[in-house]
């Protein structure tokens, strides 16, 4: 990647040296060195719990008790409150936007700094809009100052947030997983904006766990693992597979068990599945004992395809399960025929807050557990849960605990248990390891392998390419709602091949 637009110099804007931060005796950061040059996009990547967010929170002045040295713009700095960080010129765009959807763009931008009107307590609307327009012009954003923020697309709301951050004299802007909830076109628009900021000499820290994005936006990348820096690389010339290795280390080989599944007869057959605006002419098969991976960038239509098969969204086309047409009226009808799905967003679509682990696991089989008049003896629910907790190694192994008190990984194991106790023929797993620590990931990989070895069909969707490459027997590459390629993964280098297939431009 060339730096034709950014006037990258070798004098760093930010230098963090030997940053150490403990949480209640647990070391989160262990002597981290990190630097950002002016006009540079420096990506910060690592597994969940590697310390990315902690490092940025130190920078944003969220903690007072850290050790180490921070030099910003040539001067020693030690921000201990967000206000101090802001005064230095450090802005942070968090993943969950903090814009107020009911207010206009102008009101959002000048929130707390509204120009006063003639009467006390009133505000001067005209100068509010003028001032906001000034902020937008300075940022170089073409946004309607008087539009309500809630009516804008997510990407444009993101721009409002960025403009808000740029209101002061910001010299370093941190993006914390900005693309997590953006569609592919919005991502491109966001990247344009970041390139614009970069050209103005603003230093950018870009936190992400999507390796696929990095070559499009970042100049350098620093990999964190277990609170330490593994290394810093120039993005140009660094392969995705190398970054995966840096993030996971030795564990990469240990995490994936030997394949011992042998594909049998066709269980799931999808023919010409289509939904306007989402995907078109999707056809593929999943065999018994086979793991089929759906690869593709976020927004390519992977999740939409999965939801349509499961009956959660309407779509045209034909789906057959074990030889019989699958009614796709609702998840309920798909489930009755032996299909299960772990949804992409565990919090929104998976766990049922307030319910116990036992209820969360048993919810899918209560029709089987219940007797006359729907009577469901607590012991039966408990026994069912204990069986799954044992098999999935859910910790703590307490069926009575409220589900939300478990860690993300253990919640996900409970979700797997929910479907497994129904003994499904085919299981769709949409991003099954998102937001899960490395140790639990390895356990989930082993479980997926076991499920396939038992003769179930698995449709695996994941943004983590090394996961797909190491687990799947076959890979289908989805681009813009179409399956464009089928691949059979072989060795670890395939990560780069699959990556290329996912990001390839359409032939004009």
In the complex with other proteins, the residue whose CB is nearer, 266 or 355, is 355
- Taking Cα atoms as reference points, which of 92, 77, 64 lies closest to residue 168? 92
Q: Kindly list the residues in this chain that would bind other proteins in the complex (CB under 8 A).
A: 310, 312, 330-332, 335-336, 341, 343, 348-356, 358-359, 362-364, 366-367, 369-370, 373-378, 381-382, 385, 396-402, 418
Shortest approach of other proteins to residue 277 CB, angstroms? 21
In this structure, are residues 131 and 144 in contact, taking their beta carbons and an 8 Å threshold? Answer: no
In the complex with other proteins, the residue whose CB is nearer, 280 or 366, is 366
Shortest approach of other proteins to residue 141 CB, angstroms? 34
Shortest approach of other proteins to residue 291 CB, angstroms? 22
Handedness of CA 389, 395, 401, 405 (dihedral sign): negative
Shortest approach of other proteins to residue 21 CB, angstroms? 21
Name the one residue in this structure whose structure tokens are 């990547």: 45
Shortest approach of other proteins to residue 353 CB, angstroms? 5
In the complex with other proteins, the residue whose CB is nearer, 136 or 403, is 403
> Residues, the chain, total?
508
Strands 291-295 and 316-321: unpaired
**Rounded-to-integer distance, Cα 299 and Cα 461, Å:** 12
In the complex with other proteins, the residue whose CB is nearer, 374 or 507, is 374
Strands (E), 197-265: 203-207, 220-225, 228-234
In the complex with other proteins, the residue whose CB is nearer, 208 or 303, is 303
What the block records as the tokens of 369 is 């557990």
Shortest approach of other proteins to residue 383 CB, angstroms? 10
In the complex with other proteins, the residue whose CB is nearer, 212 or 358, is 358
In this structure, are residues 219 and 235 in contact, taking their beta carbons and an 8 Å threshold? Answer: yes
In the complex with other proteins, the residue whose CB is nearer, 266 or 369, is 369
C-alpha atoms less than 13 angstroms from C-alpha of 106 in its C-beta half-sphere: 18
In the complex with other proteins, the residue whose CB is nearer, 120 or 379, is 379
In this structure, are residues 21 and 64 in contact, taking their beta carbons and an 8 Å threshold? Answer: no
Shortest approach of other proteins to residue 364 CB, angstroms? 5
In this structure, are residues 156 and 143 in contact, taking their beta carbons and an 8 Å threshold? Answer: yes
**Rounded-to-integer distance, Cα 439 and Cα 448, Å:** 15
The DSSP code for 432 is T
**Rounded-to-integer distance, Cα 413 and Cα 342, Å:** 10
Shortest approach of other proteins to residue 333 CB, angstroms? 9
Buried b (16+ CB within 10 A) or exposed e, 246-259: bbbbebbeebbeee
């Amino acid at each position: 990647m060339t730096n034709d637009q950014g006037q990258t110099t070798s004098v760093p804007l930010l230098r963090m040296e030997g940053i150490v931060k403990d949480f209640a005796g647990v070391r989160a950061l262990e002597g981290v060195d990190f630097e950002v040059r002016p006009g540079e996009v420096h990506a910060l990547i690592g597994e969940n719990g590697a310390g990315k967010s902690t490092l940025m929170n130190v920078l944003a002045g969220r903690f007072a008790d850290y050790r180490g040295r921070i030099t910003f713009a040539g001067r020693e700095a030690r921000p201990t409150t967000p206000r101090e960080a802001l005064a230095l010129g450090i802005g942070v765009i968090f993943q969950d936007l903090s814009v107020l959807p009911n207010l206009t763009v102008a009101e959002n931008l000048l929130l707390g700094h509204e120009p006063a009107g003639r009467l006390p307590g009133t505000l001067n609307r005209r100068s509010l809009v003028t001032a906001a327009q000034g902020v937008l012009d300075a940022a170089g954003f073409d946004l309607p100052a008087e539009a309500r923020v809630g009516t804008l697309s997510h990407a444009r709301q993101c721009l409002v947030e960025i403009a808000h951050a740029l209101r002061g004299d910001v010299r370093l802007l941190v993006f914390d997983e900005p693309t997590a909830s953006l569609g592919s076109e919005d991502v491109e628009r966001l990247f344009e904006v970041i390139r614009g900021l970069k050209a103005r000499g603003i230093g950018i820290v870009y936190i992400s766990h999507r390796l696929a994005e990095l070559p499009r936006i970042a100049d350098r990348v620093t990999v964190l693992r277990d609170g330490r820096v593994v290394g810093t690389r120039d993005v140009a010339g660094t392969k995705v597979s190398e970054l995966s290795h840096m993030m996971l280390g030795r564990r990469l080989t240990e995490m994936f068990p030997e394949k011992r599944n042998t594909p049998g007869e066709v269980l799931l057959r999808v023919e010409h599945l289509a939904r306007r605006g989402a995907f078109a002419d999707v056809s593929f098969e999943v065999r018994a004992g086979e793991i089929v991976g759906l690869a593709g960038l976020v927004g390519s239509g992977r999740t939409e395809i999965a939801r349509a098969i499961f009956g959660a969204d309407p779509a045209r086309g034909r789906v057959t399960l074990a030889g019989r047409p699958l009614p796709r009226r609702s998840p309920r009808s798909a489930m009755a025929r032996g299909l299960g799905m772990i949804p992409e967003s565990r919090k929104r679509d998976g766990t049922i807050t307030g319910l116990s682990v036992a209820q969360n696991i048993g919810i899918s089989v209560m029709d089987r557990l219940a007797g006359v008049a729907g009577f469901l003896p607590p012991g039966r629910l408990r026994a069912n849960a204990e069986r799954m907790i044992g098999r999935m190694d859910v910790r703590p192994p307490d069926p009575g605990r409220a589900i939300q008190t478990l860690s993300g990984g253990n919640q996900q194991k409970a979700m797997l248990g929910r479907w497994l106790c129904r003994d499904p023929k085919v299981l769709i797993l949409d991003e099954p390891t998102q937001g899960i620590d490395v140790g639990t990931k390895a356990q989930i990989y082993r479980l997926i392998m076991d499920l396939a070895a038992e003769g179930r069909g698995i449709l695996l969707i994941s943004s983590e390419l090394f996961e797909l490459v190491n687990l799947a027997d076959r890979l289908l590459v989805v681009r813009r709602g179409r399956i464009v390629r089928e691949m059979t993964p072989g060795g670890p280098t395939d990560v780069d091949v699959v990556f290329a297939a996912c990001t390839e431009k359409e032939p004009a």
